[in-house]
């Protein structure tokens, strides 16, 4: 499978302290890849290097076949970025903002199409300063996709969204992925990573401590299951057998029965604990 991003031995220091301490990473073309980690773990620095915003100290990095440390105008036009915090032009309307930015790209999407994609059609004529926080975040996303990017970086994209808006945004991202856009997502919402990502990497103390599909990350799929019923609970490697035994004990229905394996949050928290 063609790689959109390849990283080998990536390192970055601040004041002699490793922020990124030797990361290797491969992200396939068309993949939705989530990068998770606590504040200060190195994930933002890693993504900024991939975006071409920050210089690395060591390592080899290829993004869409080019070194982001030597960005060209053509390379920049192939990438979309939705930053966590952006500076806006508050006196422009949503439509004016999108039309302005679309002119920067050689093959941009129609601004009104993008406005509809992010659910802002009814607000297209409003000035940015009159929008709610969630609506402004939708403008940020619209600016990130108006250039029809091959690779889209999303930094905490649904901050300020209500649950319904977040679900609608997930549908937008899935649609972009279906069209072949590679997406790199950083988020603190673990349910968002689980819902969207094909694969996940967890960064802690400047290193990748786990990588894989959300359902199998950190041995999640093979971890002990917890079988709980009204009178007790047990952790077991054979939950089906346990349920059958309980069924015989209760002669049928087991009161209050639940069977669970560790959630992505459980695994994530165990991975980022200081060693």
Beta-carbon contacts of residue 193 (< 8 Å; ≥ 6 apart):
34, 36, 185, 187, 200, 214, 264
- Report yes or no on 136 lying in a domain: no
- Report yes or no on 59 lying in a domain: no
pLDDT tens by residue, 260-275: 888 888 888 888 887 6
pLDDT tens by residue, 20-74: 999 999 999 999 999 999 988 899 999 999 999 999 999 999 999 999 999 999 9
pLDDT tens by residue, 195-219: 999 999 999 999 999 999 998 888 8
Count of Cβ atoms closer than 10 Å to residue 141 Cβ: 23
Q: Which domain holds residue 240?
A: 222-272
In 3-state terms, what secondary structure has residue 256?
Answer: coil
Structurally, the chain folds into a number of domains equal to: 1
- Report yes or no on 72 lying in a domain: no
- Report yes or no on 243 lying in a domain: yes
- Report yes or no on 95 lying in a domain: no
- Report yes or no on 249 lying in a domain: yes
pTM comes to 0.85
The whole-angstrom separation of Cα 253 and Cα 257 is 9
Return the beta strands (E) in the chain as ranges: 3-14, 17-28, 32-36, 58-63, 79-82, 151-155, 182-186, 199-204, 207-212, 225-229, 232-236, 258-260
Most distant CA atoms of the chain, gap in Å: 71
* Mean pLDDT across the chain: 90
């Amino acid at each position: 499978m063609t790689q959109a991003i390849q990283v080998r031995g990536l390192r970055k220091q601040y004041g002699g302290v490793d922020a990124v301490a030797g990361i290797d990473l491969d992200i396939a073309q068309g993949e939705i890849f989530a990068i998770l980690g606590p504040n200060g773990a190195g994930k933002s620095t890693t993504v900024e290097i991939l975006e071409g915003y920050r210089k690395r100290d060591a390592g080899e990095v290829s993004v869409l076949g080019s070194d982001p440390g030597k960005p060209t105008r053509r390379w920049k036009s192939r990438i979309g970025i939705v930053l966590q915090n952006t500076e806006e032009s508050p006196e422009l309307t949503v439509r004016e903002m999108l039309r302005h930015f679309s002119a920067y790209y050689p093959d941009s999407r129609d601004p009104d199409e993008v406005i509809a994609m992010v659910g802002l059609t009814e607000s297209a004529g409003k000035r940015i300063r009159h929008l709610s926080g969630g609506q402004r975040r939708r403008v940020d996303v619209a600016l990130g996709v108006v250039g029809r990017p091959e690779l889209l970086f999303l930094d905490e994209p649904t901050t300020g969204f209500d649950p319904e808006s977040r679900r609608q945004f997930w549908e937008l991202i899935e649609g972009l992925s279906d069209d072949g856009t590679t997406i790199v997502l950083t988020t603190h919402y673990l349910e968002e990573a689980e819902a969207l990502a094909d694969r996940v990497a967890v960064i802690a103390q400047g290193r990748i401590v786990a990588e894989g599909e959300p359902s199998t990350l950190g041995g999640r799929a093979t971890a002990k299951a917890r079988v709980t019923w009204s009178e007790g609970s047990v952790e077991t490697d054979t939950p089906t057998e346990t349920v059958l035994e309980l069924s015989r004990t209760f002669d049928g229905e087991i009161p209050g029965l639940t069977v669970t394996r560790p959630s992505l949050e459980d695994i994530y928290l165990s991975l980022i604990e200081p060693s």
